[in-house]
């Protein structure tokens, strides 16, 4: 016996990817429903070798469904997630709405799967921010060995993190650069994204950081350890899919690069590609469509005691969003609901 599963926001980038990954990983589904806003009712989406027609989210009855994977913004989630949860359907939410709620577990299954038991307080589980998800997969096994004191991270985040509008803007602007009569001003982003980088993701906060940077700090503390100090600079780059991060880590205990490399090679969800030669590292183009978080450029930081640097790359639509949500669903199934 399998599960009755709902995907909310099934016509968006992340919703479509959720359906793909549920099928790829052969999640035990008895019945699946694809939901979208009223303007997208009837749109066809793929689920393995099947084609689903989207149903009206506003009119949908969640009673009798086991779990709902939400891939819509915080406003829609605020309206519909409590209704699904109250009907007995466990919500796995990809928005930022519930991530910092102390009664809602924030889960990366390779890192803190045991926290899944906290779902019952609100019948809701939160998926972390895409840039956080890949980083904590790399940090947790190193923290278990040598205790992380401080993390300094600079991100190189692809435009797909801003949705279809972000992808379209990069595509249109890139073409327009070569056509002097075709000007494509910035709309989704604050400045031109083609052939440029923008050190600004989400809104600015009072201390000068952006909300994206604050998310990485707060989520790392909640998922791994509240004592870890984190400082982040988040940058949007002209890459379609795949987030990259340059991570500097300071530990309480000494950890040499060779041992760190061995630890990461054995860590769940991690693939180490680290050769000190031309091309001996992973770039965003190479990680697209893959489940793994790739780690390269592991080396000592000689400027501090007990320091390491590493390069971290992952498909943000997969591990950063859809894959992590499906992994949460798998964990919920095997550890709690136990139907599949």
What DSSP line would sit under 25-42, residue for residue?
A: TT--EEEEEEEE-GGGTT
**Does 11 show up as a binding residue in the annotation?**
yes
Q: Mean pLDDT throughout 85-94? A: 98
Answer for the pair 260, 180: CB distance below 8 angstroms, yes or no.
no
**Does 40 show up as a binding residue in the annotation?**
yes
Report the SS3 class of residue 238. Answer: coil
Q: What are the tens digits of pLDDT across the range 95-118?
A: 999 999 999 999 999 999 999 999
Q: Taking the mean position of all CA atoms in its chain, how far away is CA 207? A: 25
Whole-angstrom distance, CA of residue 231 vs CA of residue 295: 20
Tokens 């509008």 found at:
165
Q: Are strands 3-8 and 29-36 parallel, antiparallel or unpaired?
A: parallel
**Distances from the Cα of 121 to the Cαs of 3, 113, 150, in angstroms?**
21, 16, 32
**Does 161 show up as a binding residue in the annotation?**
yes
pLDDT on residue 340: 58
Q: 181: pLDDT confidence band, cut at 50, 70 and 90?
A: confident
Residue 38 has pLDDT above 90, yes or no: no
Q: What are the tens digits of pLDDT across the range 276-296?
A: 999 999 999 999 999 999 999
Q: What are the tens digits of pLDDT across the range 219-258?
A: 999 999 999 999 999 999 999 999 999 999 999 999 999 9
Q: Taking the mean position of all CA atoms in its chain, how far away is CA 7? A: 16
Q: Are strands 3-8 and 50-53 parallel, antiparallel or unpaired?
A: unpaired
Whole-angstrom distance, CA of residue 99 vs CA of residue 167: 26
Whole-angstrom distance, CA of residue 212 vs CA of residue 209: 8
Question: Is residue 254 among the annotated active site residues?
Answer: no
**Does 14 show up as a binding residue in the annotation?**
yes
Least confident of 126-135, 172-181, 190-199: 172-181
* Paired strand residues for 148: 251
CA atoms within 13 A on the CB side of 338: 2
Tokens 């910035």 found at:
186
Choosing from 130, 234, 287, 312, the catalytic residue is 130
Q: Which two tokens stand for residue 197?
A: 């980088």
Give the phi and the psi of residue 53 in degrees, each rounded to 5: -100, 130
pLDDT on residue 228: 98
This prediction has a pTM of 0.94
**Does 180 show up as a binding residue in the annotation?**
yes
Choosing from 89, 143, 243, 287, the catalytic residue is 243
Question: Is residue 200 among the annotated active site residues?
Answer: no
Answer for the pair 240, 160: CB distance below 8 angstroms, yes or no.
yes
């Amino acid at each position: 016996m399998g599960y009755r599963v709902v995907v909310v926001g099934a016509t968006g980038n992340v919703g479509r990817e959720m359906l793909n990954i549920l099928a790829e990983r052969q999640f035990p589904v008895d019945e699946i429903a694809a939901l979208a806003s009223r303007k997208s009712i009837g749109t066809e989406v793929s689920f393995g070798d099947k084609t689903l027609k989207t149903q009206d989210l506003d009119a949908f009855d969640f009673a009798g469904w086991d779990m709902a994977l939400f891939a819509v913004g915080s406003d829609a989630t605020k309206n519909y997630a409590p209704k699904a949860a109250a009907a007995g359907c466990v919500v796995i939410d990809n928005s930022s709405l519930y991530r910092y709620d102390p009664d809602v577990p924030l889960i990366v299954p390779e890192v803190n799967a045991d926290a899944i038991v906290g779902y019952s307080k609100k019948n809701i589980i939160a998926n972390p921010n895409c840039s956080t998800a890949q980083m904590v997969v790399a940090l947790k096994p190193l923290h278990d060995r040598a205790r992380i004191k401080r993390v300094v991270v600079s991100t190189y985040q692809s435009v797909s993190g801003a949705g279809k509008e972000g992808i379209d803007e990069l595509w249109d602007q890139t073409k327009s650069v070569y056509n002097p009569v075709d000007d494509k001003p910035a709309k989704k982003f604050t400045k031109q994204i083609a052939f440029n980088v923008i050190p600004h993701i989400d809104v600015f906060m009072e201390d000068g950081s952006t909300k994206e940077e604050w998310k990485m700090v707060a989520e790392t503390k909640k998922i791994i350890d509240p004592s870890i100090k984190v400082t982040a600079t988040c940058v949007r780059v002209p890459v379609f899919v795949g987030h990259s991060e340059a991570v500097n880590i300071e530990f309480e205990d000494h950890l040499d690069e060779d041992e760190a490399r061995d630890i990461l090679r054995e860590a769940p969800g991690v693939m180490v590609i680290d050769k000190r030669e031309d091309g001996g590292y992973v770039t965003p183009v190479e990680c697209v469509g893959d489940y793994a978080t790739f780690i390269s450029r592991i080396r000592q930081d000689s400027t501090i005691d007990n320091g390491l640097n590493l390069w971290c790359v992952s498909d943000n639509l997969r591990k950063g969003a859809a894959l992590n949500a499906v992994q949460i669903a798998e964990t919920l199934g095997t550890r709690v609901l136990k139907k599949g």
